[in-house]
Amino acid sequence: MATLLVGLAAINAGLNLLFLVWGMMLFLILASGVLSELCLRHLQPRRKAPTSITAGTPYLMGVALTNEKRRLPSFSVEVEDLVDGKPIEKRCYFLKLPAGRTQETAYRHVATKRGRLHLSGYRLSTRFPFGLIHKSKDVSAPLELLVFPELCPVPNALMRGFSSRHGRGHQKWRSRRGDFYGLREFRKGDDPRDIHWRTSARLGAPFVRETEDDEGQEIGLVLDNRMKAGDGEAKEGTEGREGKALRAGADDAAFEHAISMTASLACELLSRGYRVGLSVCGDAISPEGGQAQTTRLLRFLALLGPAAVDSPQPAARPNGASIRIVPGRAPEVRLPTGAGDGTRRSA
């Protein structure tokens, strides 16, 4: 605007001094545009994505920028990731990037939703040299990231029946099969084949073997991911669109909380050494242990969507330990026969 006003004054007055000032101002604008354009040329950005991203948890996205120019450096360059063509609120800043060099930095960001995160490219921008012009260009570099479900605290009451120690063999549920657990005196109704004769002869009384139940080391998570049937036309006249939108939002929040609770339970139980499986409507993951099973369950839950209302209810194993998670309800724990707790509900 100042250049335009000086130009109008120079043309109107016809003074050489005003023409000189106007020419200098035009040259600054032209030089700013040319230098900023040269600054953004032959720049090659590259991402270094994290190994895993969890919703609601900050993660670091590494960005490396290479100046492929032979002689000219680049100054004051900002790099932004694009999500569906729109930049996110975080960016990386490079003050000076010499010719033929690569610099690396990272930005911290938080993914708000689970599922697929589509990064469409980069936006390179600069205000060099005078800050008069903000010039930018978009670079296409699509990348798809998977965001795991948000992890939430697991209630202590829900873990009351499960050992807090890592590794197998610490949850002692007696059974006719499994690893050796201990000895006890013979009681009426015990199988004589379980008598430990050497100990019985030494102590002068019959003792029987007790073994751990292998089923006690496997826990099945049962997630009922069926969508609730809405009241629909029955309440449409009284609630209207706003009421239906509020109820739909509450159902979505309950469903996402159930997904988060399932993921949190899986991580907690796997860290304690259990083999964890998952059953949903129409699909299941067999019980396994270790870090690979953690990643497998989190990837599955990250992409899990709601099932139809009339879908068959997911079923747990008949004799194993299981935890049933229903959106909008408290998780229900069922211990196998012999554990002594039966079925309980946790807040």
pLDDT tens-digit map of 277-336: 999 998 999 888 888 899 999 999 999 999 888 888 887 776 678 899 999 888 888 876
Amino acid sitting at position 101: R
Whether residue 340 has pLDDT greater than 70? no
Shared domain check, 242 and 115: no
Average pLDDT, the chain: 83
Shared domain check, 181 and 64: no
The domain total for the chain is 3
Shared domain check, 64 and 200: no
Average pLDDT over residues 5-18: 88
Q: How far apart are CA 143 and CA 176, in angstroms?
A: 53
For the stretch 149-165, pLDDT in tens is 999 998 888 887 676 65
Q: Which domain CATH number covers 136?
A: 2.60.40.10
- Considering the domain boundaries, does residue 153 fall inside one? no
Greater model confidence, 132 or 231: 132
% of the chain residues with pLDDT over 70: 82
Shared domain check, 190 and 135: no
pLDDT at 215: 46
Shared domain check, 259 and 339: yes
Q: Assess contact for 316 and 334: CB atoms under 8 A.
A: yes
- Considering the domain boundaries, does residue 156 fall inside one? no
Per the structure, the complete domain to which residue 203 belongs is given by 177-212
Shared domain check, 255 and 203: no
- Considering the domain boundaries, does residue 165 fall inside one? no
Give the 3-state secondary structure of residue 292: helix
Give the 3-state secondary structure of residue 70: coil
- Within the chain, strands assigned E span 43-48, 53-54, 58-67, 74-83, 86-97, 102-110, 115-126, 135-148, 174-185, 207-212, 218-223, 275-280, 283-288, 321-325, 332-334, 343-345
Shared domain check, 201 and 85: no
Amino acid sitting at position 233: E
What is the pLDDT confidence band of residue 111, given thresholds at 50, 70 and 90? very high
Shared domain check, 118 and 105: yes
Amino acid sitting at position 93: Y
pLDDT at 81: 94
Q: How far apart are CA 277 and CA 223, in angstroms?
A: 11
Q: Assess contact for 314 and 280: CB atoms under 8 A.
A: yes
